[in-house]
Structure 1
Amino acid sequence: MKDQKTFRVFIVEDDLWYSSMLEYYLSLNPDYVIQKFDTAKSFLARIHEKPEVITLDYSLPDMNGDQLLMQIKEISPDSKVIIISGQEDVKIALDLLKKGAYDYIVKDEDAKDRLWNTIQNLRENVQLKQEIETLKEEVHRKYDFSKAIIGNSPVIQRVFSMMEKAARTNITVSIAGETGTGKELVAKSIHYNSPRKNQPFVAVNLAAIPKDLLESEMFGHEKGAFTGAIARRIGKFEEASKGTLFLDEIGEMDINMQAKLLRALQEKEIMRVGSNDLVKIDVRIIVATHRNLLDMVKEGTFREDLYYRLLGLPINLPPLRERENDVLIIAKHFMEVFCKENNLQVKNFSTEAKKKLLGHAFPGNVRELKSVVELACVMAEGNDIEPDHLNVTSQNIISDFMMKEVTLKEFTTKFIQYYLDKYNYDVLKVARKLDVGKSTIYRMIQNKEVFVHKKYAYENSFMN
C-alpha cells in the first residue's frame, strides 16, 4: 500500500546528465521521493506505483511524449504530467496540454526553477485535497446515525428509522421537538448521510433574524437595493445550492415572508431583493420547530398551504424524560468526552447519582443534561459523581413532575426526594415542612425509595 505521506516524482529522461541534474535539484526537498527512467519501457514497468508527478521528456528513444502521455492518462489518470522538451513549439505544447499534460516546460536555463515551483504548487494542492477528503470523512463519521445521536430506547430507535428513510431521498423533512432535543443534529445527520453529503449544509435560525432583514438573508440582494447594500450578496438559498437548507424555528417566520418562501419552494426559483431576474435553485429543505404548527394554522399565524408543503416526512424528537435509560447512556458519554477534553480522570456515577438523573424531568433536554454533567465533573473531587454534584433541582417542582404522567406513589416519592435535596437531607426538617411523620421518610430511605447522600446519612444502625 502506498504511503500517503510520500510525494513521488518520476523523471523520464534519456539524457542521463539532464536527468541527474533534475534529480539533484529536486532532491534538495527531502520530502520528495525521486525515481529516474531513461526509456518508456522501464518507466511503464513501474507506473502502477502511480506517482504524484511525472516529468516527461517529449523525445524518448522508444516512444514519443504524445504516445506515452496517452498511456499515462489511461493507467494513472491522477498523476500530473509535466512535459520537458527541447522544442519550443507552441502548437505541440498546446496540443499536449489539451490532451491532459499539466504543464509544458522548455529546456532552458530557467527550466529547473520553473519545474521546482510547479511541483511545489502541485504538492500544496495535493495536500489540500487530502485534507479536504479527510475532513469530509470525519464529518461523515461524526454524523453517523449511531454515533451522532446516542440512545437505545424504543422511541429513539423509531427516530433512527425515520432518519434512514429521509436520508435515502430528497423529500422535505419537518423535525418537531422541544428545545434542546437535538433538532439541528438530526438535520445534519440526514444531510451527511444523503446523496447531497458533499454539498453545503446551510443552517438558518429564523428566530434570530429580524423580519425586515429576512428576505435579503434568504434570497440575497443586489447592489443599491436598499441603504447599506454596497455590493451584491447571495442569500442562503444560493449558498446552499445542490445541498441542504435547514430552516430552524420555522414557526417564527413572519406571515408575509411565508408567502415568499412558499413561492420559492413551489417554483424552485428566487429573486434577489432589488432584482428582476429569477435564479433557479436546487436545494433540499429541512425545517424544525418546537411549536405546534398545526395549532398555528388553526390560529391563522401559519399558512396552511406552506404547512403542507413543508410537512414532508415528519420526525418527532422525544423529550429526554420519555427516553428511559438513555439519560444514563448520554450522561456517561458527556462525562467521558468532557474528562478527555480537560485531562480529567474518567469518573463513575454513583447509584444515588443515577437515580437522581433518572428522577429529573430535564425540561432543557439533552442540552441541560450536558451542562449538568460537565459541572458535576468539575465539582467531583474523587472518582465518583454523587447526587450533590448534580445541579438538577427544579425551580417549579409541580410543573416539572406533571410533564410526565406518574402514579400517586411515584409523585409522592419524587416530591419527598425534592425536599430532601433542597434541605440537605435533613429528615426532621423535611418531615416538619411536609407535615408527615419522620418514620415515613426513614422507611422510604430504608426501602431505597428515596436516598440521602452518604455524608448526610444518619446512624449506621438505622441505615442498615
Structure 2
Amino acid sequence: MKNTPFKIFILDDDVWYSELLEYHLSLNPDYELKKFHAANDCLRSMYERPDVVTLDYSLPDKNGAEVLKKLKEQNPDTYVIVISGQEDVATAVDLLKKGAYDYIVKDEDTPERLWNAINKIRETVSLRKEITQLREEIGQKYDFGNVIIGNSEPVKQVFRLMEKASKTNITVTISGETGTGKELVAKAIHYNSPKKSRPFVAVNVAAIPRELLESELFGHEKGAFTGAVARRLGKFEEADKGTIFLDEIGEMDISLQAKLLRVLQEKEITRVGGNAVLPVEVRIIVATHKNLAEEVKKGNFREDLYYRLLGLPIQLPALRERGGDILVLAKYFTDAFTKENKLGKKSFCPAAQQKLLSYSYPGNIRELKALVELAAVLSDEEIIQEHDINFMANHADKDFMATERTLKAYTTEIIQRFLDKYDHNVLLVADKLDIGKSTIYRMIQSNELRIR
C-alpha cells in the first residue's frame, strides 16, 4: 500500500500559488502531483482517476460549484478540497452539501491545513482498499468449491441450487443434519451475491434463551426491562442491506414467530420497549435440522411463516450419503492438518480407506475432520493404517463408566456430549434428554457446561 502512488490534481489559475501548493505537497514522495490552470484541462484528465483534486473556487473560465459538480460526476470516488480566497460560510456549507470534502480559506495556514486534510483522506482511501481486498479474499474463501468439498451427485445438486440462490434475493431454507455445513453454505450464498459487500449476521436461535431472543433480534430501548441500561441495536438492524442467517429456526417460540412474520411482511421492526418503527432491508436465510412441514402439522410452527420462509429449499446430504466424497474430504482435512502442524504428508492405506467408507458418521463432516486429524497424530508412518482410525464416539462410550464419579458429574458429561453432538442446540438437547432447558442454561451460566 505504501508504494502505491497517491494521485493529486492541483487546479488553480494562479501559477505562483499552485507551485506553492505543489512544493509543499511534494515533501511527501508518495504523492504524484499534477497542476492545472484551467478547469477544462483538469476535467479532460479525470480519466486518470486522481485520489484528490484541490479546487480553486474563483476560476476565470468556470464557476467553482459547477466544476465541483462535474468532477464528482466523472469520478464520485475522488475527494475534492475547495480552496477559496473568501471566507463565506454560506458558500462553504453549500459546497460541502454538494460533495466537497473540505473548504479551506487562502491564508498563511492553507498549506498546513491542506497537508492535514490530504493525510486524513489518504488514511481513508487506504482503509477502503484494505476492506475491498479483504472482501475479495472472503469471496475466494467462500467460493462454492471451497465450501463444499466433493463431486458426488448430491453435492453437485447443492452447487446448482447455491448458484441460483446467489443470483437472486430469494429467501433460502437450508435443511440437513447437524454437522453438514449449513452456516458455511449460507455464507457462500451471501458472499457470492450482490450483497457480498454488506453485512452477514448469523443468529443461532436455539442457543439464546426465549426471553432474550426478541431483544437479540430486534434490539431494545434503554429501560425496556431490568438490565437494559442502554439502547441496543438488534441483529436485524446490524444486517440492514445485507443478510441475516437464522440457524435452527424450528426452535423459535411460536409467539415470537408472529413478530418475525410481521417483520418479513412489513420490512420494519420495533425495538423492545420502543414505539419507533424502523425500516430494514434484509435478505433472510434460515436453517434447520427439523422437517418444518411436520412441525407445522404438530402446531409447533406457524403455517404462514413456513410459506413465507420456504423460498428456495436446499437439502444438504448427510456424509454417509455422499459415497466417495468421504475419502476426498479425508484427504483434504489430513493435508491441511499435516501442513499446519508440520507432520509431513500422509495418506490412507486401502484398509484404512475402507474403514472410513464403512462408518455412518452421525456427526457428519465435523466428526470426520476430528477423526482423520487424530489418525494423523497417532500414525507413526507416512501411510495411515486401519488401527490408527478410532471412531471416537464408540471409544468414549466404552470408557464412560470406567471411573467412579458423582451423579452430577455423569449428568454434566452426558449433557455436554449431547450439546457437542447437536451443535450446542439447547432446546434440542433438552428435548432429547427430557430435561428443562432452564437447567442447561443455568449450567452454562455457571460454567459447568461449554457452549460457543
Q: Summarize the Cα distance change of 1:34–1:384 in structure 2 as closer, same or farther, 3 Å threshold.
A: farther
Return the alpha-carbon distance in structure 1 between the equivalents of residues 55 and 296 of structure 2. 69
**What does residue 331 of structure 2 align with?**
332
Residue 302 of structure 1 aligns to a residue in which SS? coil
Larger Rg: 1
Q: Summarize the Cα distance change of 1:253–1:118 in structure 2 as closer, same or farther, 3 Å threshold.
A: same
Please show how residues 352-371 of structure 1 align to structure 2 within 5 Å: 352-371=351-370
**What does residue 247 of structure 1 align with?**
246
Per-residue deviation, 1:70: 4.8
Return the alpha-carbon distance in structure 2 between the equivalents of residues 226 and 41 of structure 1. 62
Q: Summarize the Cα distance change of 1:198–1:25 in structure 2 as closer, same or farther, 3 Å threshold.
A: same
Contact 2:172 2:309 in 1 (8 A): yes
Contact 2:2 2:30 in 1 (8 A): no
Q: Deviations over 1:432-464 (max 9, x none)?
A: xxxxxxxxxxxxxxxxxxxxxxxxxxxxxxxxx
Per-residue deviation, 1:43: 4.6
Per-residue deviation, 1:364: 0.9
**What does residue 372 of structure 1 align with?**
371
**What does residue 155 of structure 1 align with?**
154
**What does residue 273 of structure 2 align with?**
274
Contact 2:172 2:284 in 1 (8 A): yes
One-letter identity of the residue aligned with 2:108: E
Return the alpha-carbon distance in structure 1 between the equivalents of residues 147 and 165 of structure 2. 16
Q: Summarize the Cα distance change of 1:27–1:378 in structure 2 as closer, same or farther, 3 Å threshold.
A: farther
Q: Deviations over 1:179-213 (max 9, x none)?
A: 10001111122222333333322211111111121
**What does residue 224 of structure 2 align with?**
225
Please show how residues 279-428 of structure 1 align to structure 2 within 5 Å: 279-392=278-391, 395=394
Q: Summarize the Cα distance change of 1:158–1:213 in structure 2 as closer, same or farther, 3 Å threshold.
A: same
Q: Summarize the Cα distance change of 1:163–1:111 in structure 2 as closer, same or farther, 3 Å threshold.
A: same
Contact 2:13 2:59 in 1 (8 A): yes
TM-score normalised per structure 2 = 0.77
**What does residue 407 of structure 2 align with?**
none
Q: Deviations over 1:160-182 (max 9, x none)?
A: 22222333333332221111000
Return the alpha-carbon distance in structure 2 between the equivalents of residues 296 and 45 of structure 1. 65
One-letter identity of the residue aligned with 2:388: H
Contact 2:68 2:100 in 1 (8 A): yes
Please show how residues 11-410 of structure 1 align to structure 2 within 5 Å: 11-38=10-37, 43=42, 46-59=45-58, 65=64, 68-90=67-89, 92-94=91-93, 96-392=95-391, 395=394
One-letter identity of the residue aligned with 2:150: G
Please provide the CA RMSD for this pair. 3.1
Per-residue deviation, 1:362: 1.5
Return the alpha-carbon distance in structure 2 between the equivalents of residues 14 and 164 of structure 1. 55
Which range moves more in the overlay, 188-197 or 364-373? 188-197
Return the alpha-carbon distance in structure 1 between the equivalents of residues 23 and 373 of structure 2. 57
Per-residue deviation, 1:121: 0.7
Contact 2:11 2:39 in 1 (8 A): yes
Residue 32 of structure 2 aligns to a residue in which SS? strand
Per-residue deviation, 1:110: 0.9
Per-residue deviation, 1:256: 3.0
Q: Deviations over 1:379-408 (max 9, x none)?
A: 4455433333333355199xxxxxxxxxxx
Residue 127 of structure 1 aligns to a residue in which SS? helix
**What does residue 441 of structure 1 align with?**
none
Q: Deviations over 1:250-274 (max 9, x none)?
A: 2222233334333443444443322
Residue 72 of structure 1 aligns to a residue in which SS? helix
Q: Summarize the Cα distance change of 1:343–1:27 in structure 2 as closer, same or farther, 3 Å threshold.
A: farther
Residue 245 of structure 2 aligns to a residue in which SS? strand
One-letter identity of the residue aligned with 2:20: M
Which range moves more in the overlay, 338-347 or 45-54? 338-347
Q: Deviations over 1:117-166 (max 9, x none)?
A: 10011001111111222222222222222222121100111112222233
Return the alpha-carbon distance in structure 1 between the equivalents of residues 132 and 40 of structure 2. 34
Larger RCO, structures 1/2 (Cα 8 Å, 6+ apart):
2
One-letter identity of the residue aligned with 1:203: A
Residue 362 of structure 2 aligns to a residue in which SS? coil
Return the alpha-carbon distance in structure 2 between the equivalents of residues 396 and 292 of structure 1. 31
**What does residue 400 of structure 2 align with?**
none
Q: Summarize the Cα distance change of 1:270–1:390 in structure 2 as closer, same or farther, 3 Å threshold.
A: same
Q: Deviations over 1:279-325 (max 9, x none)?
A: 44433222211123333334443344433433332221111011011
Residue 9 of structure 1 aligns to a residue in which SS? strand
Structure 2: tracts of 5 or more residues without a match: 397-452
Return the alpha-carbon distance in structure 1 between the equivalents of residues 226 and 171 of structure 2. 35
Return the alpha-carbon distance in structure 1 between the equivalents of residues 204 and 374 of structure 2. 28
Return the alpha-carbon distance in structure 2 between the equivalents of residues 98 and 323 of structure 1. 59
One-letter identity of the residue aligned with 1:7: F
Per-residue deviation, 1:46: 4.4
Residue 394 of structure 2 aligns to a residue in which SS? coil
Contact 2:3 2:30 in 1 (8 A): no
Return the alpha-carbon distance in structure 1 between the equivalents of residues 42 and 98 of structure 2. 20
**What does residue 424 of structure 2 align with?**
none
Which range moves more in the overlay, 345-354 or 131-140? 345-354
Which range moves more in the overlay, 251-260 or 156-165? 251-260
Return the alpha-carbon distance in structure 2 between the equivalents of residues 278 and 247 of structure 1. 22
TM-score normalised per structure 1 = 0.75
Equivalenced residue count is 396
Return the alpha-carbon distance in structure 1 between the equivalents of residues 172 and 44 of structure 2. 53
Residue 233 of structure 1 aligns to a residue in which SS? coil
Which range moves more in the overlay, 83-92 or 316-325? 83-92
Q: Summarize the Cα distance change of 1:162–1:121 in structure 2 as closer, same or farther, 3 Å threshold.
A: same
Structure 1: tracts of 5 or more residues without a match: 398-464
Which range moves more in the overlay, 245-254 or 206-215? 245-254
Q: Summarize the Cα distance change of 1:266–1:50 in structure 2 as closer, same or farther, 3 Å threshold.
A: closer
One-letter identity of the residue aligned with 1:156: V
